[in-house]
Structure 1
Amino acid sequence: MDKTEQKILDVALKEFAKEGYVGARTKSIAEKSGFSEMTLFRKFKTKENLFNMVLAKNQEIVIKDFYLMMKDSNIDNPDDYLKTIIERLISLTEDNFDFISIVIYEKKTISGTVIAELMTHITECLEKIFPNSKIDTKVFVFNLLSFVYFLIFDKSQGRTFVDHKKAVEEFIKYSTGCLKL
C-alpha cells in the first residue's frame, strides 16, 4: 500500500466513524487527505471499496493486537487475570475507537466477525481461568465489552459520567465475585 492510499484510508476511517457510511462524502475524505476526489476513485474505484478496505485493514490490526495482548496473559490468580484482560481491552478499544464505532453502528453494512471473534476468544480464556463458574460466560463477556465500549465512549466525549478508574475497579471487583460463583 502506498502513502497516498494509507493517508486516504486514515482519513476515511475517521469520516466513516463520525458520519457513518451514508453520511461520509468521498469529496470530503479526498480533501481532508490532501488529494483530489479523482485520486481517491483511481485508488479505490468506489466508496464501497474504500469502506471495505478501511474495515479489512483495521479488522486485521485489531485482531492482531488482541492476540498479542493476550499472548502473555499467563496469570494464575483469577482476579489479576480479569483485571489484566479488562485493562488491555480498554487500551485496545481506546486505540481503535473509530473502527470499533464503525463496527457497532454500521452493523447492517458489515459482518460482526471482529466482535464475534473477540467474544469467543475472551469467553474461552475466562472459562479456562474460571472453569466452575455457574454464570453464562458469553453473557458476561457481552457485558464486559459493553462496559469497556461505553467507558471509552464517555471518555471520548470529554465527559465523566462516572469516575473511570473507580468504575474499572468496581467492575473488576464485582465481576470476579460473579465468576467465582
Structure 2
Amino acid sequence: MPTTLRFRQGSGRPCLDFVRTLRHRGTADAVEELPDAGTLVAWVRQCGPCPAEAGDADAALVRTAQELREAIHHLIGAARADRSPGARDRERVNRAAARAVPVPSLAPSGRLEWQADDPVRATLALVARDALDLITSPALDRVRDCAGPTCGALFLDTSRPGTRRWCSMDTCGNRAKKQALRRKATA
C-alpha cells in the first residue's frame, strides 16, 4: 500500500466522503478505492477519528464496508427521490449504526484523542449514523450530484444561494472551466 494514498474529502458529510470511495460511479471508468484491507484501513486513518492498524481489517470487513457504502448511496438516492428505502439497505445501515462508536478522551497533553476497540467498525458506525442523520434532516435538500460528466460524486451544497455545481472547484469545476475555454477558443 503506498504511503501517499489519499482519499477525496470535502463533500460536506462523512457519509458522502465514504460514498466517494467508488470513484466515477455510474461510468465505465468506475474505480473501487477500497479494494482490500490495506486501503480500508488507510481510509479510516485519513477520514476517521481514531487510529487504525494494518491488522484491523480483513477481506470480509472490506466486503461489509463496500456493501455499507452502496446501501448508504441507495438510501440517500431513495430519500432524495422521496421513495421508501429498500429493506436490505435500511437494515444494513441500521446494523452498522448500532455498533459502538469511537469515544473521546483528553490526553495528558491536553489534546483530544479517540479510541475504539475496533477502529474500523467504529468508524463505519459513525459513517452509518451520519447517513441516517443526513437522510432525515433538512440538509438532504442540499445534497447535489457533481455536474462533472464522469464524476458521479455527491456533495452537500453549503453555498448561500444553493447553486454549487461541482464536488470540488479544484478538480471537476476547474476541468469544466478548461473545457469551456477550449470550446470557446476553437469556435
**TM-score w.r.t. length of structure 2:** 0.31
Report the structure, 1 or 2, having the larger helix content: 1
